Structure 1
């Protein structure tokens, strides 16, 4: 088969191609996020509920934060981590939780957090959608 001029322009230089298998092999596996921004979720172990407002495809918090988790409960870093406006029935706060520790919250009950109204609108089904002012 005859090579076109574009084939040469788009070809990977041999020295780079030789390095790619190792570089690609070292890349972290990224799991797909189960939840979306606006979804309501519940923590599997601690039971608090929250609204997802941001998602990291892999762990992206500080090393100190990660090391503070007891080893037996420490989740793998190569999974999505969710930023939540959380409510535990007594107080509201921002939580950072691994995907393995979250399940969908099907109650439809509202989450009591002061930042929710600034970012989300309540949907008829009890969920949350980004407010119209958040779309560009």
Structure 2
């Protein structure tokens, strides 16, 4: 099973779809519903045996929470903050590369 390539606080971009986000949780392998998985178009459906990431995501229209496989993510190189209303509840700040998780959310 592949190891997680990204960590909490990393800013990533989807490889195929036009959105980016900050990682707030990591599952070592797929941990969502079968209904969610089956809703992905078959030609884009990722393998389940890889890390999946929970993102505070944004696109040009909205902010939302996304669940994305490792194979569909790349590091975001823009150095721009993510504009998501929940960021302030989980993270202290952005240093130009990654977000720092608030102390109360660290394990």
Bin for the TM-score computed over the shorter chain = over 0.9
Larger strand fraction of residues? 2
Q: Is the 8 A contact 2:80 2:96 kept in 1?
A: no
Greater shift, 115-124 or 70-79, is seen at 115-124
State the alpha-carbon separation in 2 of the partners of residues 70 and 124 from structure 1: 36
State the alpha-carbon separation in 2 of the partners of residues 43 and 86 from structure 1: 10
Larger helix fraction of residues? 1
Unmatched segments (≥5 aa) in structure 1:
1-29
CA deviation string 1:18-62 (max 9, x = no partner): xxxxxxxxxxxx210000000000001112010000001010100
Q: Which has the larger radius of gyration?
A: 1
Task: Tell me whether 1:59 sits opposite 2:30 in the alignment.
Answer: yes
What is the Cα-based RMSD across aligned positions, in Å?
Answer: 1.3
Task: Tell me whether 1:124 sits opposite 2:104 in the alignment.
Answer: no
| 1:90-109 matched pairs, under 5 angstroms | 90-109=61-80
Q: Is the 8 A contact 2:81 2:96 kept in 1?
A: no
